[in-house]
Chains A and B, each alone.
Chain A
Amino acid sequence: MTRMSVRLFGAAVFAIAALYTLQSQQYLITFGDVLGPSVFPVIVGIPMMILSASLVVFPTGDVAWPGRDRLWRQAAALAAFVGYTLVMEEVGFPIATAALIALIGFIMGGSPWRALALGAVFGPGLWALFDQVLGLPLDFLGTLFG
C-alpha cells in the first residue's frame, strides 16, 4: 500500500509529462527565433518522463496516509477553502471570513462556541484592519446584499 502511492504518483506525472511533451509540438517555430517555443518543453518533458517512470518501477519512501477520521477533517477544511472562494464575492469579506475562521477553528478542535466567537471577532476585525486601517480595498457587503 505504502509504495503504491509513489507508483500512482509516478504514473500520473508520467502521463502529464507525456501530454505536455506532445502538446509542445503544436507550438510552431516562428521566424527569427532559432529554438522556438517548443524545444524547452521537450527538454523538460523527456527527463520528467524518465524520472517518473523510474519512480513507477523503483518507488522509494514509505507514505503513511491519515486514517479515515483525519481524512474527513482535511476534506472538510478543503471544502471550507473552496466554499470561501465561491461565496466571498457574493456575501462580502467579513461574513465569509468569519465563517471560514469559525469552520477551520472548529475542524482544528476548538469548541463550537469558541470557534464561532473567534470568527465573529476576526472576520470583521481583519476587514477593519486591512480595509479601514491599511487601505486594502475589501468588499464589505458583497453583491448579494450591497
Chain B
Amino acid sequence: MEVFSLIGNGFLIALTPLNIGLLLLGCFVGTLLGALPGLGPVNGVAVLIPLTFAFGFDPTSSLILLCAVYFGCMYGGRISSILLNIPGDEPAIMTTLDGYPMAVQGQAANALAISGVASFVGATIAVIGLSLFAPVLARAAIHFGPADYFALYILAFATIGGIAGVDPRKTLLSAAIGLMMATVGIDPISGVPRYTMDSFHLYDGIQPIIALVGLFAISEILLLLEKTAKDRPKAIKVDRWLPQWSAIWPTRWAMLRGSGIGFVAGVLPGAGASLGSFMAYVFEKQKSNKNGTFGKGDPRGVAAPEAGNNSAAGGALIPMLSLGVPGSGTTAVLLAMLISLNVQPGPLLFERQPDLVWGLVASLYLANIALLVLNLPMIGIFTRLMMTPTWALMPVVAAITFVGVYGISNSIFDLKLMVFFGVLGYILRKLDISLVPLVLGLLLGGDMERNLRRAMSISGGDWGILIASPISITLYALTIGFLALSVWLAVRDHKQTKAERLTEG
C-alpha cells in the first residue's frame, strides 16, 4: 500500500538526531505539564510555541516537538487525577472518578499502569486512524473552490464551540471578535492599511502567536490568583511501581471501546479531548456498570476515559492537517504555529509537504512508545516533580512566556500586546466566553476574506457564487443544522452545570 511507503519515508525524517531529541524532550515536558495541576495542553503548547519560533526550527521539527508535548499532556494529566484527585488538565477530569478511589484502595500502581496502557492504546489507534483517514479527507478536499472554503470556515466557526452547554451567541461573538482582529493590518489585496490606528507595529497585523500566548497563558495566571492558596493534599504513596499484568488485561475491551468513541469525538469539529474522555466514560459506564462499581474504583472506569482522551487528541489532528480547520483548542494553537511558519495546512499540505505530514505521523508512533516508557517504569520522576508548589512553578512559567514572545522579534510592543490579550482572555473566560473561536477567527480570518474576495472576483461581483456548488450548499446546510441543534440544546438546558462545558481540550 502507498501509505506504508509514505510512513517509511516519514520514519527517515523522524529518526534524524534533532527530531529524536525534540521528540523525547517534548514527551517529557508534555507529561510533566499534563501532570502539574493548572497547566493543561493548551497552555503548555502556547508557552512553548514562541520558543520554537525564536530558535528557528523548521516546521516539521517544531510540529514534532509540539505534538509530542500535546500527546504527553494527555498521558500526564491522569497522574495527578489518580494520586491527588485533582485533574492535571481538563480532559483528565473523568479519570478522577475511578482513578482516585482505586489509589485510595491501595491500587495506585495498577491505576497508573492501566491508564498508561489505555493512553497508549488510545493514542496509537488514533495515529493509525490519522495515517489512514487524513489522506482520504485531503483528497476529497482538493475539489474545494474559494467559495467552498468560505463555507467551510463558516461551518468551522459555527461548530467550534461544540454542542455542550455554552450559550451559542457567546461562541459566535468570540469568533467575530477574532475575525475583527484578523482584519487589522495592511490589506494584502489592495494594500490599504486597516484599523492600524497609525501605529506601524500593527501594519503587519496582530500576530496570532502573541495573541494566543496572552489569551491562554497570561489569563491562566490571573485566574489562578483568584483561587485561595490552599495547601495541596498530599499525594497518595505508591509502594511499588510494577503493575500486575492481570489487572490490566481485563480492561482491554474498555480501552478499545473508549478509543473508538474518543477517535470519533476527536475528528468531529468542536469536540476535542475533553469531550472524548467524557463520552468514553459515560458509554463505558452504561455498558459495564452491572454491579454499581463505577465511581468506586472500577479499573474500566480508568481505562475508558484515558483511552478516549488520548484517542480524541490524535483524532483532532485530522481536520487540522487535512482541512486546515482545527476541532479543538490545542489543535487551533498548533494551527497558529504552522500558519506563522508559512505552512498552510489543508489538502495541498499532503501534496506539497509530504515530509512534514508523514514525518509527524511517524514521530507520533515513536512518541507513543517513548511515552509508554516514560509513563510506566519512569513514572516515579513525575510523581515527585508534580508536587512543585504553584508559587514556584507559575512565576517561572510566566518568565519563560515573556522570553519566548520577546525572542520572536525582540519587540517590547509584542510583550505589551501579550499582556493586553492576557487581560482580554481573563475577562472573556470570566464571562464564560470560549477563547478557541477567537483564536480561530484571528487565524482563519485573513484566509476567509481572501477566499471570499477571490470567489467574488471569479463571479464578477455576483453573490450567487457562494451557493453555486453542491459542496458549499452542503456545508451551509450542515452549519444551519448545527446551529439549530445548539440553540435548541441551549434553550433546553438553560441552567447548565459547569461540568458539562467540556470543549476546550
Interface residues of A (CB under 8 A from B): 5-6, 9, 13, 16-17, 20, 23-24, 27-28, 30, 33-37, 40-41, 43-45, 47-48, 51-52, 54-55, 60-61, 63, 65-66, 70, 73-74, 77-78, 81-82, 84-85, 88-89, 93, 97, 100-110, 114-115, 118-119, 122-123, 126, 130, 134-138
A141 to B403, CA, bound (A): 16
A107 to B225, CA, bound (A): 8
Q: Is B190 an interface residue (CB 8 A)?
A: yes
CB-defined contacts of B187 to chain A, threshold 8 Å: 27, 37
CB-defined contacts of A16 to chain B, threshold 8 Å: 180
Contact between A51 and B169, CB atoms less than 8 A apart:
yes
Contact between A17 and B192, CB atoms less than 8 A apart:
no
Contact between B453 and A136, CB atoms less than 8 A apart:
no
Query: Taking the nearest CB of chain A, how far is it from the CB of B448, in angstroms?
Result: 8
Query: Taking the nearest CB of chain A, how far is it from the CB of B166, in angstroms?
Result: 8
Contact between A136 and B173, CB atoms less than 8 A apart:
no
Interface residues of B (CB under 8 A from A): 54-55, 167, 169-170, 172-173, 176-177, 179-180, 183, 187, 189-192, 194-195, 218, 221-222, 224-226, 229, 389-392, 394-396, 398-400, 402-403, 406-407, 410, 412, 415-416, 419, 422-423, 426-427, 430-432, 445, 448-449, 452-453, 456-457, 460-461, 494
Nearest to B221 among chain A residues (CB) is A77
Contact between B391 and A9, CB atoms less than 8 A apart:
no
Contact between B190 and A74, CB atoms less than 8 A apart:
no
Nearest to B191 among chain A residues (CB) is A30
Nearest to B457 among chain A residues (CB) is A34
CB-defined contacts of A78 to chain B, threshold 8 Å: 222, 419, 423
A123 to B400, CA, bound (A): 10
Known: A60-B167, A108-B391, A122-B399. A30 touches B192 (CB 8 A): yes
A16 to B419, CA, bound (A): 20
CB-defined contacts of B391 to chain A, threshold 8 Å: 105-106, 108-110, 114-115
**One of A45, A66, A101, A136 near B395 (C-beta < 8 A):** A101
Query: Taking the nearest CB of chain A, how far is it from the CB of B44, in angstroms?
Result: 17
Contact between B392 and A48, CB atoms less than 8 A apart:
no
Query: Taking the nearest CB of chain A, how far is it from the CB of B295, in angstroms?
Result: 28
Nearest to B227 among chain A residues (CB) is A70
Query: Taking the nearest CB of chain B, how far is it from the CB of A24, in angstroms?
Result: 8
Tell me the interface secondary structure of chain B in the complex: helix
Nearest to A139 among chain B residues (CB) is B410
CB-defined contacts of B176 to chain A, threshold 8 Å: 17, 44, 47-48, 51
Task: Tally inter-chain residue pairs, CB-CB below 8 A.
Answer: 181
A102 to B396, CA, bound (A): 9
Chosen A-B contacts, 23 in total, with CB atoms closer than 8 Å, are A5-B431, A13-B177, A27-B194, A30-B191, A35-B457, A40-B448, A41-B194, A45-B180, A55-B173, A60-B169, A60-B170, A78-B222, A100-B402, A104-B398, A108-B225, A108-B390, A110-B392, A118-B392, A126-B399, A126-B403, A130-B407, A135-B55, A138-B406
Nearest to B446 among chain A residues (CB) is A40
A40 to B183, CA, bound (A): 8
A100 to B218, CA, bound (A): 13
Known: A108-B395, A134-B55. A23 touches B453 (CB 8 A): no
Query: Taking the nearest CB of chain B, how far is it from the CB of A23, in angstroms?
Result: 7
Nearest to A67 among chain B residues (CB) is B226
Known: A37-B192, A54-B169. A130 touches B403 (CB 8 A): yes
Nearest to B214 among chain A residues (CB) is A81
Known: A33-B453, A77-B222, A134-B55. A63 touches B431 (CB 8 A): yes
CB-defined contacts of B167 to chain A, threshold 8 Å: 60-61
Known: A51-B173, A65-B430, A78-B419. A44 touches B183 (CB 8 A): yes
Nearest to A66 among chain B residues (CB) is B226
**One of A41, A51, A82, A108 near B183 (C-beta < 8 A):** A41
Known: A33-B453, A118-B392. A70 touches B402 (CB 8 A): no
A44 to B426, CA, bound (A): 23
Query: Taking the nearest CB of chain B, how far is it from the CB of A75, in angstroms?
Result: 10
A48 to B449, CA, bound (A): 16
**One of A52, A108, A134 near B229 (C-beta < 8 A):** A108
Contact between A81 and B173, CB atoms less than 8 A apart:
no
Nearest to B422 among chain A residues (CB) is A81
Known: A51-B173, A108-B225. A40 touches B394 (CB 8 A): no
**One of B225, B390, B460, B461 near A77 (C-beta < 8 A):** B225
Known: A74-B222, A105-B395, A115-B391. A9 touches B460 (CB 8 A): no
